[in-house]
Amino acid sequence: MKKLFAFSLALAMAISLTACSNDSSSSGTNGADSSNTAEKSVTLHMGGGLTTTSPQYPALQAFAEAVEEESGGTIKISLDLSGALGSDREIIEGVMNGSVEMMHMADISIGSVITELGFVNLPYLFPTRESAEDHYLYGELGNIYRSVMAENGMTILGQLLEGDFRWISNSKHEIQAPSDLSGLKIRVVDSPMYVSFFENLGCNPVAMSVSEVAAALQQNVIDGQDNGPLNTYFYGFYDFQSYMTKTNHAYAANMLCINTDVYESLSENQQTILSEQAEIYTALAYEYQVAAIDGFCEEMEKAGMHIVETTEELSTFMKEASTKVWADESITGMFNQDAMAYINENLAG
């Protein structure tokens, strides 16, 4: 837990210090700007499944505090996380229709609601983190992603962040061979693609929101789940499971989003403040979290979790199972076809 606290503190301090540095070197976008007196005050409610014990939470608090300070108190961000505003689906739909102003959400959850965006979570789409960064986080797939989000009434603030490869963990036994997956009740995101993929693996997939996973593990409703080391650590899932295999079967990222109508209702100055502080938060959060993955794995291992590399036999089996998903037009036909054309040209095979 010391590494968790250090991570949280370092990230929150970095955001605060960066905001202070920007404040001292700029004018016209801080609380001292007299033009703020004519701006309306707003409270933006941010939903999401992120828990208050996550190291990202104090960083988001620092982000909210920086926005409030820079705006002279005209923008307050209420962090209504831990599923306080509903399930992932309810929050996403809320941001789409404007009943919820903001969210901190995983792309894999967004893709279960806006099926056109499911392409980024195709199994084995990105072979390496560098590939994900080049093609998605800072590349053409990211541009397409932002465009589709805009078409659905949402604006992504800052950069896409917290990229992580998904692994498989469970409470029964180590997963080293294809037969080890047989019959396992694995929590998956509510997505036809993921249900199909895990059925192809011989598992019994159970779709549910990430906020429900800890309780489901405790109550033996599920045997395991597929999440990367970041979420497995942040949500404390390792407390209820002893085995994790580094399958790297999919890549997922998170993002800060705001309802576009809400964003455009703000003054130009307020929009600038919100966008600039989001850039600071997302850039620092991504940098810190990627660097912290090994440390989090060490902490989970100290707590008793066995984390192992995948075997060639298991990897080959899982990749073969993924080809059935890629070939299923009832799944890929739902995805943005410009994105699929790019994927087929640059990443397929």
CB 191 within 8 A of CB 133: no
> What's the whole-number mean pLDDT along residues 277-287?
84
CA–CA separation, 16 and 10 (whole Å): 10
DSSP run (H or E) holding 166: strand 154-170
Q: Which two tokens stand for residue 322?
A: 């993924």
pLDDT at 231: 87
Instruction: Give residue-wise pLDDT tens across range 138-166.
Output: 999 999 999 999 999 999 999 887 678 99
Q: Which domain holds residue 152?
A: 2-346
pLDDT at 326: 96
pLDDT band of residue 15 (cuts 50, 70, 90) is low
Report the candidate in 118, 305, 88 with the shortest Cα–Cα distance to residue 213: 88
pLDDT band of residue 36 (cuts 50, 70, 90) is very low
Mean pLDDT across the chain? 89
Alpha helix stretches (DSSP H) within 159-242: 192-200, 213-218, 229-234
> What's the whole-number mean pLDDT along residues 303-321?
97
pLDDT at 292: 79
User: How crowded is residue 109: how many other Cβ atoms within 10 Å of its Cβ?
Assistant: 24
pLDDT band of residue 283 (cuts 50, 70, 90) is confident
> What's the whole-number mean pLDDT along residues 46-66?
85
pLDDT band of residue 294 (cuts 50, 70, 90) is confident
pLDDT at 19: 59
Report the candidate in 80, 74, 76 with the shortest Cα–Cα distance to residue 65: 76
Instruction: Give residue-wise pLDDT tens across range 192-226.
Output: 999 999 999 999 999 998 889 999 999 999 999 99
pLDDT at 31: 46
pLDDT at 337: 97
CB 184 within 8 A of CB 222: no
Q: Which residue has the tokens 């490869």?
A: 165
Q: Which two tokens stand for residue 58?
A: 């104090």
pLDDT at 190: 87
Q: Which two tokens stand for residue 146?
A: 């932002």
DSSP run (H or E) holding 183: none
Length of the chain: 349
pLDDT at 20: 61
CA–CA separation, 283 and 163 (whole Å): 12
β-pairing, 224-227 with 154-170?
Answer: antiparallel
> What's the whole-number mean pLDDT along residues 326-349?
95
Angle ∠(93,214,287) on CA atoms, nearest 5: 70
pLDDT band of residue 21 (cuts 50, 70, 90) is low
pLDDT at 7: 55
pLDDT at 22: 57
| Count of domains forming the chain | 1
pLDDT at 26: 46
CA–CA separation, 36 and 33 (whole Å): 6
More confident residue, 53 or 119: 119
CA–CA separation, 176 and 192 (whole Å): 26
Residue 34 pLDDT more than 50?
A: no
Angle ∠(334,340,341) on CA atoms, nearest 5: 135
Q: Which residue has the tokens 């990627």?
A: 290
pLDDT band of residue 12 (cuts 50, 70, 90) is low
Q: Which of 15-24, 55-64, 285-294, 337-346 has the lowest mean pLDDT?
A: 15-24
pLDDT at 235: 87
Task: Indicate which CATH number applies to the domain containing 270.
Answer: 3.40.190.170
177-181, long-range: CB < 8 A, 24+ apart: 177/311, 177/313, 177/314, 178/202, 178/313, 178/314, 178/317, 180/314
CB 47 within 8 A of CB 80: yes
More confident residue, 167 or 159: 167
* Identity of residue 259: N
Residue 125 pLDDT more than 50?
A: yes
pLDDT at 28: 43
